[in-house]
Structure 1
């Protein structure tokens, strides 16, 4: 379970920013039966979802990118291909104080009933520091701490001392990643948690549409789940199939380089399939408006952009709910009807529909979600840029005197909570001279 993420000096964020799914006492007795996950072992209550608002270019997407960078770097820094590659971290560039300073990332999560706190500081060339702590009940125990290439390791808990002694940790690689690649069991557990931290863009669904297609091909029950998911959205889809590429009848305009890549892959594995499209089936009606048969549609050519996105979401959403994972989406509501977005959020907040306590973090411009009664004050977050170009991240629960029954949407649009664009100059844009 996701507990808290903190980062500093990354892209448009200069100072430390923190998003927490720890429920606050400020919202005690508000939607506790639905929106909260009790974690009695650590005397915690965690939120099932969080929503982030802000003006354009205020940092909403950069928050998602910070999480995405940390995940990617943990999963890939030990690979041989990264030996001479710069670390893909970007500091805040609008201040001479930070441009040459390292960026900081730290995440707290619970996995298999143990709470972990893991983080690192890095610039484009090297790791400045790295740390890992765990807590089984009350006391937090240090598993390792790294200061550049000096390591302090709890040898009984974290069995990677030989990697350090044999200089197997590169300056630009994370100890955690290298330990996982050498099958250290504790490191692999943490590595696996990062792997199940699902981060996607709601603006470009091409990146996970293929995942949803492959998931359907993998198991018959996955196809049934996907069909129910689509039917629930009133898209007119009765059934679907995944279309595979016909290698013997590729179109003439098919790129030659791609043909060669397919031939090579098939030579390595004759069983491999290349998924090319989703075929959806819609009812056709006769002159008496009676259903007579089903008509095939191509997802790529015939379905709307909203339908394409909703289908693409099916894999990440259903898998996250099934396994009790975390899903982080940049612009979840984009292309979707507000009622449909609301239903998705209700599923994550529901005790009945989300028994495995999956979590959802997303950003949006859909202010209508603020008036829906879906969120507690501690679930609502904002990003805002100051006059020096630096973004800040804060929660509605940080404000004093905000009543839980007040109209959050109205007050947000009016600017009571900040995080809206300053548009006075817009009034003069088309003024007559």
Structure 2
């Protein structure tokens, strides 16, 4: 479970920005609460704002940390530039991340400071009693890196020689350090449709990749089939078949293709390959994959432009999956951006962030941080009237 994330000098955010899932004691309990050790946290957070305000950049840190912690060691060359960008007016300054999360009942804090060319510092802390104690610290020096560890048995000589564009956690995992595995699994459970350039564009190949993942998990495929039929796309069920097709060299390759069954009112039925379905049906199929995996295994789904692939009337149905224990047994979390202000009718003020760009720098705030905004206020009406900010200037 993610408790909070702060970051600074990252893309359009020059100053510090915070994504806080914590509730405190004041908000009225809702179905979107996670209670741990008498503290409450959000299951769902919506991010709303005008085009170009920085909504995607607000979610990018979670997508970047997933990649960096799990894949930066084996997935990059030694001279590879780290795929981040500081604010254009602060290009000579470093970027900073701090993530607090809970894993198997224990609180951890991960800190990372870096530039596109090298890590400046990386550290992992574990909460013991009321304080955090480091598991490891890695800091850049004139001749490489210094390294300290307590209970994280990665070789000191290896750590100090580790190249500057790779996470120590990723390297430790590749060297079979057992203590790194739980953290790799945690970050791998950040499911997202965001890449370094922004929201991952829809491509037909994504349908095949999603089908290949689903055919390996029959329970998840069943959930997908039920979900697609509930979303009133004219489908009764979804099946996946392995078919042969020519590759770029005209050799046969096996691919997995989803098929939808359609039934008329008088009982007649027929099948269509998903490549004969609408682009909306295809994109919904791809989008639901990471969301359903998050609900099945736990973790957090980080989804940009949720309403781009789903009709706004379907968003409440999706949010309900995260609300109830029977559909969300592992207390999975969801954070998403959208352009549909009606989402303000579905959530409370502590479950909504607004993002606005001021003087070429993005700023974000949670609605319960606004003075004078009451719990029973009509958030949608106030937003549409411009009283909350984060609306287009027309």
**Structure 1 length normalisation: TM-score?**
0.83
Judge conservation of contact 1:89–1:122 (CA < 8 Å) in 2.
no
The 1:74–1:332 alpha-carbon spacing in structure 2 relative to 1, beyond 3 Å, is: same
Judge conservation of contact 2:10–2:84 (CA < 8 Å) in 1.
yes
Deviation at 1:410, TM superposition (A): 1.2
CA distance in structure 2 between the aligned counterparts of 1:359 and 1:218, rounded to whole angstroms: 24
- Bigger Cα Rg: 1
Query: How many residue pairs align between the two structures?
Result: 386
Aligned counterpart, 1:383: 355
Judge conservation of contact 1:4–1:22 (CA < 8 Å) in 2.
yes
Aligned counterpart, 1:52: 47
Deviation at 1:152, TM superposition (A): 4.2
1:407 aligns with 2:378: yes
Q: Partner of 1:82: helix, strand, or coil?
A: coil
CA distance in structure 1 between the aligned counterparts of 2:207 and 2:41, rounded to whole angstroms: 30
Q: Which has the higher strand share?
A: 2
Deviation at 1:60, TM superposition (A): 0.3
1:108 aligns with 2:100: yes
Aligned counterpart, 1:255: 248
1:4 aligns with 2:4: yes
CA distance in structure 2 between the aligned counterparts of 1:353 and 1:242, rounded to whole angstroms: 23
The 1:278–1:216 alpha-carbon spacing in structure 2 relative to 1, beyond 3 Å, is: same
Judge conservation of contact 1:328–1:362 (CA < 8 Å) in 2.
yes
Q: Partner of 1:116: helix, strand, or coil?
A: strand
CA distances 1:64-83 after superposition (whole Å, capped 9, x unpaired):
22221222122222127421
Unaligned runs of 5+ in 2: none
Q: Which of 59, 67, 83 in structure 2 is aligned with 1:64?
A: 59
Judge conservation of contact 2:349–2:379 (CA < 8 Å) in 1.
no
Aligned counterpart, 1:420: 391
Judge conservation of contact 2:225–2:239 (CA < 8 Å) in 1.
no
Aligned counterpart, 1:274: 255
Judge conservation of contact 1:377–1:404 (CA < 8 Å) in 2.
yes
Unaligned runs of 5+ in 1: 264-272, 424-433
CA distance in structure 2 between the aligned counterparts of 1:223 and 1:15, rounded to whole angstroms: 43
Aligned counterpart, 1:347: 321
1:35 aligns with 2:32: yes
The 1:172–1:219 alpha-carbon spacing in structure 2 relative to 1, beyond 3 Å, is: closer
Q: Partner of 2:201: helix, strand, or coil?
A: coil
The 1:79–1:298 alpha-carbon spacing in structure 2 relative to 1, beyond 3 Å, is: same
Q: Which of 213, 223, 226 in structure 2 is aligned with 1:225?
A: 223
Alignment of structure 1 residues 34-433 onto 2, 5 Å: 34-40=31-37, 43-79=38-74, 81-93=76-88, 95=89, 98-148=90-140, 149-155=144-150, 157-164=151-158, 167-201=160-194, 204-206=201-203, 209-247=207-245, 250=246, 255-256=248-249, 259=250, 273-275=254-256, 277-284=257-264, 290-291=266-267, 293-301=268-276, 303-371=277-345, 374-387=346-359, 389-423=360-394
Q: Partner of 2:126: helix, strand, or coil?
A: strand
Judge conservation of contact 2:35–2:41 (CA < 8 Å) in 1.
yes
CA distances 1:38-87 after superposition (whole Å, capped 9, x unpaired):
111xx421110000011110000112222212221222221274212111
CA distance in structure 2 between the aligned counterparts of 1:217 and 1:401, rounded to whole angstroms: 51
CA distance in structure 1 between the aligned counterparts of 2:19 and 2:77, rounded to whole angstroms: 29
Deviation at 1:229, TM superposition (A): 1.2
Aligned counterpart, 1:428: none
Judge conservation of contact 1:4–1:21 (CA < 8 Å) in 2.
yes
CA distance in structure 2 between the aligned counterparts of 1:59 and 1:328, rounded to whole angstroms: 15
The 1:347–1:360 alpha-carbon spacing in structure 2 relative to 1, beyond 3 Å, is: same
Deviation at 1:219, TM superposition (A): 3.7
Deviation at 1:180, TM superposition (A): 1.7
CA distance in structure 2 between the aligned counterparts of 1:366 and 1:237, rounded to whole angstroms: 25
Judge conservation of contact 1:48–1:360 (CA < 8 Å) in 2.
yes
